[in-house]
Amino acid sequence: MSDTAYNVALTVNGEAVSETVEARMTLADFLRDTLGLTGTHLGCEHGVCGTCTVRLDGVIVRGCLTLAVQCNGKRVETIEGASDSNELADLQEAFRVRNALQCGFCTPGMLLAAQELLLRGGVPSREEIRVHLSGNYCRCTGYHAIVDAVEATAQARAGSAR
Amino acid sequence: MKISPDQPSVLSALDRPNSYIGRSVPRPNLQRLTQGRGNYVSDTVLLRMVHVAYVRSPHAHARIRSIDAAQAKQSPGVVAVVTGPELAKVMTPWVGVLTHLKGIKSALQHAIAIDRACWQGEAVCAVVAKTRAQAEDAVGLVEVDYEPLPAVTDMETALAASTPVIHPELGDNLTFARKHEAGDVDKGFQDADEIVETTFVFGRHTGVTNEPRAIIADWNPGEQRLTVYHGTQAPHMMQNIFAKHLALEEQQVRVVTKDVGGSFGIKVHVYPDEMAVVALSRMLNRPVKFVADRLESFVTDIHARDHRVKAKIGVRKDGTITAWEIDDLTGIGPYSVYPRTSGIEANQVVNLTAAPYTCQNYRGQCTVVMQNKNVMCQYRAVGHPIAVAVTEGLVDLAAMKIGMDPVEIRRRNLVRDDAYPATAPSGIKFEKLSHHAALDKMLKMMDYDGLRAEQKRLRAQGIYRGIGITSFVEITNPSAAFYGVGGAHISSQDGAAMKLDAQGNVVVHTGVSEQGQGAEAVMAQVAASSFGVPIERVRIIMGDTDNTPYGGGTWASRAAGIGGEAAWQAGKALRANVLAVAASILQAQREMLDIRNGVVVDKDTGNERIGLNEVARIAYFRPDTLPPGFQAELMATRHYVPRAYAFAFTNGVQASWLEVDTDTGFVKLLKHWCVEDCGTIINPQLVDEQVRGGIVQGIGGALFENCLYDERGQMLNGNMADYLVPMAGEMPDIEVGHVVSPTADSELGAKGAGEAGTAGAPGAIMNALNDALQPLGAKLLVEMPFTPARVLKALGKV
């Protein structure tokens, strides 16, 4: 172990993980390169595009602006975990049926960002959805279909909650 | 928003029962992507794979005196440090010219600069290491001794005698020029009551694909074979080029393209740093990976646009347009990009200007010059956004000048819908367009009169809203006229091979590829409809030169129209073959049978005769029970290329409704509409989403995106914090409508739809802005992007 490497122990998608990481390694690189969780994508690596969005202790963060060592003792959730738990199943289905993704590269981050809004409950306006997703860059769709899919999911969840 | 599920059509547009043509079938395999389980090149890991990072020139133009790599070679994890001359021993250079662009010239370009860097960001040395981070560490240790040279940056003075010539062997900085004259232009201007002139400026911008360019090259010295995992739009083109420049046979090269994180024309070109990757793998006998980081993308992904167009229109008081004249100047960086060249966009501007209109008096010229900036080349809607904004900007200016409504002047000048086939003043030929039907539909969709009334009412309250309209044509389904005739090995034809598997399901191998636009879904819909099975029984194989028919890939809105027709024909051929087997089993007449919903039926009654699974079982496992001499043929291949017309032109109309904050210069987009005519619509949802995504890319160039350079050729905003792209918050809802004029060149009748959005949006935004600010006496806004600062300047506030 070099003098810039540290041991970290954290939970990733419910699984205990212990690894040695370089101090400079980002959480996104750790997830992708060390753990093989490649659903977390890298679009800009300077915190603008939102493609690397993951949850850290339940709150969405930029995986490229978070260091792996900062996650010691914390709980990380990625798109793979949120898919396997079925937490996002309705939102993912709405994205599929509405074609709210084209190349799919922004989609994992977009889904986690949208889910954060949806978890607040209620049915956000299209404007609120657009503002909430404004940290996630999509080059393909023009966003309209994404707003449709998030709105439809919010309406369906609100309907079934009643 | 309620999402309605797709419903089966009652009657097929193409006369097939249970057709999927015209249905919004969701794309197959999307769960893979929504679950983060895609397979992008940037995700891919191979055994013994190493990573390359490049030392890139910090100068726009500099001689490389020497490179000292001694320290870098000692850095942890470093496998090799390779300079341009070393790499040139295994890879030949190229020149980006095509013979049909008369007189086009460019210089010899190497994968890594040999003795001179010609733009900021050009790779001058490769560092290969076990990890990308280690490679980047060592990049910082390579000492390059540069002698800075004068940089040519201003395209206006690129041809001046006092400007240095970038490539002395070429004699000047001119890449390409063209002059076209039709009708009697001088007389046209003499006949005009009013002549309006202005100069339109289109900023440089770039693609910003969400996944940067990515490639892994794996040379296997045991097989003497190269496998390249490549985020490209044109796998077969790249196979040809990798082979050519490594002195291999094409069969020694396999290009595999799985998921691609966005392309838009960015990933259809030859990039020197990607060519270096395949050469490095050959040198090192192991897999080498390169994924551009975002900062590299901004200075190496092709840039686009960067045009200055002087333009003039003549108009009579009754609204008749009498003449057009344009003079386009564009700067393309130090090299014409290989193999498609950087002359195409300006050539398209000359071809497409004035194209929707009847006035045939047209003078168009373009001048394409070299500069010490990043290269410029074809990006989504090549040339269209320029030509459309210039044409439609001129039409609005003419209307303004004579006091006519912008819709009325278009009505009086657009080519009549019953006047086809027709020829544009540039000579391009149109089979069937629908400008007037599209405009009529648009006016209803947007409630044009209602919006005009609202605009007037709000102006009285100091709220400034504008309506901008653009009519346009879009080039799709290109024949060999685009590249092949110029000598490029870029296929305009495409093939589809369809086979029945042993369970009676269908596998389709196609030469077109997927970047997210939905080509896989379109192929599956066409194949299922043509052959006669439920879509769930169709599997599509694409993006692998070892396993697909030779094809062009996905660019110029060609996948559905060309690849789709090949799949349609292959489906028909396989159906005939399978029915021959069924007929021999059933001792029936082949002509009396059909395949519907996965079952062989009597054509007349629809009565079930035998399942495809049973046909397949007998054909594959009990051929001994078939009549002597009968051989079942369970795979059929068909190819297709458009022949009657060089291009299947589509048309459409867009409208923007926006509001300008006259205190801050901010523009709020309230709504955007598009009515387009792409012929037969195979999947309405996918067409609409292509249009929407394209519009937002067009809006990006109109309002936000600009690659800013200083006079030394340094890019000033090469990161996503400073280079603005459209985000969800600023974008409007977009309504899409259709008119359907199928092409008779194919049975399907489908034209492309990938670029219509980008073609028409910037002009619509420009016209809406000027419409909004006209009552305030603002100067015309004609320089994109229309930033708040430019809006305020037009208003005279700064």
Put simply, the answer to whether A96 touches B34 (Cβ < 8 Å) is yes
- What are the tens digits of pLDDT across the range B655-708? 999 999 999 999 999 999 999 999 999 999 999 999 999 999 999 999 999 999
The overall longest dimension of chain B from CA atoms, in Å, is 90
For residue B402, is it left (φ>0), alpha (ψ between -120 and 50) or beta? alpha
- In the A/B pair of chains, how many CB contacts fall below 8 A? 196
Strand partners, B317: none
Put simply, the answer to whether B731 touches A135 (Cβ < 8 Å) is no
Q: In chain B, positions 13-52, which contact chain A (CB-CB < 8 Å)?
A: 26-27, 30-38, 40, 42-43
Put simply, the answer to whether B210 touches A108 (Cβ < 8 Å) is no
Strand partners, B290: B215
Write out chain B residues lying below 8 Å of A147, CB-based: 1, 728, 733
Is B273 within 8 Å of chain A by CB? no
> Coil, helix or strand for B561?
helix
How far apart (Å, rounded) are the C-alpha atoms in residues B751 and B430? 12
Query: Options 3.40.50.970, 3.90.1170.50, 3.30.70.260, 1.10.3720.10; which CATH number does B41-149+209-300 get?
Result: 3.90.1170.50
Write out chain A residues lying below 8 Å of B670, CB-based: none
DSSP string for B475-511: --S--TTTTGGGT------EEEEEEE-TTS-EEEEES
Put simply, the answer to whether B36 touches A155 (Cβ < 8 Å) is no
Which of B649, B666, B631, B670 is CA-nearest to residue B756? B649
Planar angle of CA B667, B669, B671, nearest 5 degrees:
160
Distance from the B656 Cα atom to the nearest Cα atom in chain A, whole angstroms: 15
β-pairing, B303-315 vs A5-12, is unpaired
Put simply, the answer to whether A142 touches B38 (Cβ < 8 Å) is no
Mean pLDDT of B438-455: 98
The partner residue sitting opposite A148, judged by closest CB among B3, B694, B731, is B3
φ, ψ (nearest 5 deg) of residue B429: -110, 135
- For residue B258, the chain A residue with the least C-alpha distance is A103
DSSP string for B427-461: S-EES---HHHHHHHHHHHHTHHHHHHHHHHHHTT
Can you say whether the dihedral through the CA atoms of A69, A75, A76, A80 is positive or negative?
A: positive
pLDDT of residue B642: 92
Q: How confident is the model at residue B108 (pLDDT cuts 50, 70, 90)?
A: very high
Distance from the B625 Cα atom to the nearest Cα atom in chain A, whole angstroms: 45
pLDDT of residue B760: 98
- Strand ranges in B662-759 using DSSP code E only, listed in sequence order: 667-677, 734-738
Q: In chain A, positions 117-156, which contact chain B (CB-CB < 8 Å)?
A: 126, 129-131, 133-149, 151-152, 155
Position A146 pLDDT exceeds 50: yes
Distance from the A9 Cα atom to the nearest Cα atom in chain B, whole angstroms: 23
pLDDT of residue B176: 98
Mean pLDDT of B359-380: 98
Strand partners, B82: B126
Write out chain A residues lying below 8 Å of B289, CB-based: none
pLDDT of residue B29: 86
pLDDT of residue B10: 46
Position A48 pLDDT exceeds 70: yes
Q: Which domains does chain A have, with CATH numbers?
A: 5-79 (3.10.20.30), 86-161 (1.10.150.120)
How far apart (Å, rounded) are the C-alpha atoms in residues B424 and B447? 30
Put simply, the answer to whether B728 touches A138 (Cβ < 8 Å) is yes
Mean pLDDT of B110-129: 98
Put simply, the answer to whether A104 touches B31 (Cβ < 8 Å) is no
What does the block give as tokens for B399? 């209307």
CATH 3.30.365.10, domain B380-477+646-794, yes or no: yes
How far apart (Å, rounded) are the C-alpha atoms in residues B254 and B643? 29
pLDDT of residue B11: 45
Contact B772, B709 (CB under 8 A): no
Is A92 within 8 Å of chain B by CB? yes
Write out chain B residues lying below 8 Å of A80, CB-based: 35-37
- For residue A106, the chain B residue with the least C-alpha distance is B210
Integer angstrom CA distances of residue A6 from A19, A33, B19, B342, B457: 8, 16, 60, 50, 66
Predicted ipTM > 0.90: yes
Planar angle of CA B337, B340, B344, nearest 5 degrees:
95
- What are the tens digits of pLDDT across the range B765-782? 999 999 999 999 999 999
Residue among B259, B727, B735, B765 with most chain A CBs within 10 A, to mutate: B727
State percent of chain B over pLDDT 70. Answer: 98
Distance from the A96 Cα atom to the nearest Cα atom in chain B, whole angstroms: 6
Is B7 within 8 Å of chain A by CB? no
Matching fold, domains B30-38+493-640 and B41-149+209-300: no
Domain ranges of chain B: 30-38+493-640, 41-149+209-300, 380-477+646-794
How far apart (Å, rounded) are the C-alpha atoms in residues A117 and A111? 10
Integer angstrom CA distances of residue B724 from B68, B717, B786: 38, 9, 12
Position A134 pLDDT exceeds 60: yes
Which of B592, B573, B496 is CA-nearest to residue B530? B573
The partner residue sitting opposite A92, judged by closest CB among B34, B728, B729, is B34
Please state, rounded to an integer, the average pLDDT across all residues of chain B.
96
- For residue A92, the chain B residue with the least C-alpha distance is B34
- For residue B685, the chain A residue with the least C-alpha distance is A99
How far apart (Å, rounded) are the C-alpha atoms in residues A131 and B393? 32
Position B308 pLDDT exceeds 50: yes
Position A162 pLDDT exceeds 60: no
Is A107 within 8 Å of chain B by CB? yes
* Torsion angle defined by CA atoms of residues B231, B687, B302 and B179, in that order, rounded to the nearest 10 degrees: 140
- What are the tens digits of pLDDT across the range B33-46? 999 999 999 999 99
Put simply, the answer to whether B729 touches A137 (Cβ < 8 Å) is no
Put simply, the answer to whether A134 touches B210 (Cβ < 8 Å) is no
Position B8 pLDDT exceeds 70: no
Q: In chain B, positions 657-686, which contact chain A (CB-CB < 8 Å)?
A: 685-686
Put simply, the answer to whether A96 touches B42 (Cβ < 8 Å) is no
The partner residue sitting opposite B3, judged by closest CB among A98, A106, A107, is A98
Q: How many helices (H) and strands (E) does chain A have?
A: 6, 5
SS3 string, B113-157, reads CCCEECCCCCEEEEEEECCHHHHHHHHCCCEEEEEECCCCCCHHH
Q: In chain B, positions 592-651, which contact chain A (CB-CB < 8 Å)?
A: none
Q: In chain B, positions 133-192, which contact chain A (CB-CB < 8 Å)?
A: 133
> Coil, helix or strand for B579?
helix
Which of B480, B455, B479 is CA-nearest to residue B466? B455
The partner residue sitting opposite B5, judged by closest CB among A97, A102, A131, is A97
Is A106 within 8 Å of chain B by CB? yes
What does the block give as tokens for B693? 């995504």
Write out chain B residues lying below 8 Å of A129, CB-based: 728
Q: How confident is the model at residue B482 (pLDDT cuts 50, 70, 90)?
A: confident
Level-2 CATH architecture, domain B30-38+493-640: 2-Layer Sandwich (3.30)
* Whether pTM exceeds 0.95: yes
How far apart (Å, rounded) are the C-alpha atoms in residues B70 and B125? 13
